[in-house]
Structure 1
């Protein structure tokens, strides 16, 4: 699929690469294209090759410009990949891979790519997150079987450290039912683990003892009305809100009021990032195309859509360990 066909199939995405924006109390309109694009690195998961790649957003996504890459543990699709900081292991990569029948959660030390920990996930994992302080890791997975709205179940899997390093993680109780679990994000300001899936965005407190860890829902922060959420991210320009994508659009959620605002009406957005510079970065599928996405990562400021030849990019992440 060439660039022209992609834009035609992307429900009237302007040539500059912007999503179709709806009015919002806080504008996410891009700066003028005369401004130089912000320099940052982009971590992508390629469903086609099963590999994770790091690129400079201002250079072509070709083999010659790979800054870091990994073939993660387990077989299947790389569904999530994010860098986090730890006291004991330095900077780590959290990753999940899987298929509709099974999956794997894994943690790697970034500097030497050493596998520190992995665990089998008995459904199709789509997200992984770590809570600093407690060291608790949560994995979100939807049920086995066919995808989309036909998947009936889903769960959150909780792992707690039995020692001081990431390799000591052990399961902490039975999985917590969560329909179509897709997104996770730790919130250091509220000390909550946000989770999204099905029609719900909600938050959990993490309660730990010396030998246990559990999630307790903060029901006052539960918001319904989504249509199969795909991604859950911070807003790096507005830390007081979350960014959620679902089948029908991209939304901002004010964490203090739990009010949802539609930012963009482009359908099938699989990942969406708002950089601190104001840059918007997104990936998405097109009607009739691969359900995971295309070979493109879109940037609104420069109007450039970076393509990784032969790839199918599900999620694109910033090279940052910052939660918010």
Structure 2
């Protein structure tokens, strides 16, 4: 990873390309934000209402494996307490890992033979899925991709083993477990679809729920819950930001700002997003934007690909 080249394209001003903001609220919602810095390779936790400076770091991690931190989300488990799911990688290789939050102990890791962009854990079964696009040049030129499935053999993350051959999924980028529907959502290429997870004592497999498959997107980047409206999903792609009604599988355009890399609704209604700019770094900028409060928090010297709310909730 050439960090000097990554820094050259960092955005200089937060106002460029902002989504249409809602009226500012008097008291911004209080929550913490987990970001991945593509330049340093580190993951940081900040209070969204304080500057993203070293003095305000609440938690940080330098994940195993060299490469870009492409995903980082907290989940709760019965065997290990709160864990961090993470994937890092480059155009040629990748790694999935799980850490115990309280002491940052590495509980499990696995090499991923393509460029992983997301990791998710199914509540209940403990099955872990990693989404990765093909090796080599990115964007619309990626020619393949796959979902990698791992199953636990006991209640601890350290027991995860491969559940079989990867499942082909073109340009796989986004994953989200849905405890209400008991489905694993996946997005990539033009597709958003859902999978049932079928397990036995010695196996786990994904079975597509084809009734929930739609093909209306253009290279999806992110797939997130709407914490204010749990009946819908939030999807970003090269051209915009969309909501998808899970009962009808109908997509609705929320924003037409392109190159949004992550987007989520907090339960307060706040909209948090990150994104790249034309002519800038392909991963993003140093900013995390908050639409309702009209704030953009910068991490000096960083390239922020995704920003996540500090929560173990799926929806």
TM category, shorter: over 0.9
SS at match of 2:269: coil
Structure 1 CA distance for aligned equivalents of residues 303 and 312 of structure 2? 24
For residue 34 of structure 1, report the CA deviation from its aligned partner: 3.9
Query: Corresponding residue for 1:227?
Result: 218
Query: Corresponding residue for 2:34?
Result: 43
SS at match of 2:66: coil
Query: Corresponding residue for 2:229?
Result: 238
For residue 3 of structure 1, report the CA deviation from its aligned partner: 5.1
For residue 2 of structure 1, report the CA deviation from its aligned partner: 5.7
Structure 2 CA distance for aligned equivalents of residues 2 and 108 of structure 1? 31
What TM-score comes out, normalization by structure 1 length? Answer: 0.93
SS at match of 1:156: strand
1:103-153 deviations in Å (ceiling 9; x for gaps): 000000000000000000000000000001110000000000001111100
Query: Corresponding residue for 1:26?
Result: none
Structure 2 CA distance for aligned equivalents of residues 179 and 35 of structure 1? 44
What CA RMSD, in Å, does the superposition of the two structures yield over aligned residues? 1.0
Structure 1 CA distance for aligned equivalents of residues 290 and 246 of structure 2? 26
Q: 1:170 to 1:261 in 2, by over 3 A?
A: same
Q: 1:236 to 1:145 in 2, by over 3 A?
A: same
Structure 2 CA distance for aligned equivalents of residues 320 and 218 of structure 1? 27
1:1-324 → structure 2 map (5 Å cutoff): 4=13, 6-8=14-16, 10=17, 13=18, 19-20=19-20, 30=22, 32-324=23-315
Number of residue pairs aligned between Structure 1 and Structure 2: 306
1:67-126 deviations in Å (ceiling 9; x for gaps): 000000111000000000000000000000000001000000000000000000000000
Structure 2 CA distance for aligned equivalents of residues 308 and 144 of structure 1? 29
SS at match of 1:267: coil
For residue 7 of structure 1, report the CA deviation from its aligned partner: 2.9
Structure 1 CA distance for aligned equivalents of residues 110 and 304 of structure 2? 24
1:216-271 deviations in Å (ceiling 9; x for gaps): 00000001010000000000000000000000000000000000000000000000
SS at match of 2:120: strand
Structure 1 CA distance for aligned equivalents of residues 65 and 106 of structure 2? 12
Structure 2 CA distance for aligned equivalents of residues 269 and 34 of structure 1? 23
Which runs of 5 or more structure 2 residues have no equivalent in the other structure?
1-9
SS at match of 1:7: coil
Structure 2 CA distance for aligned equivalents of residues 268 and 74 of structure 1? 26
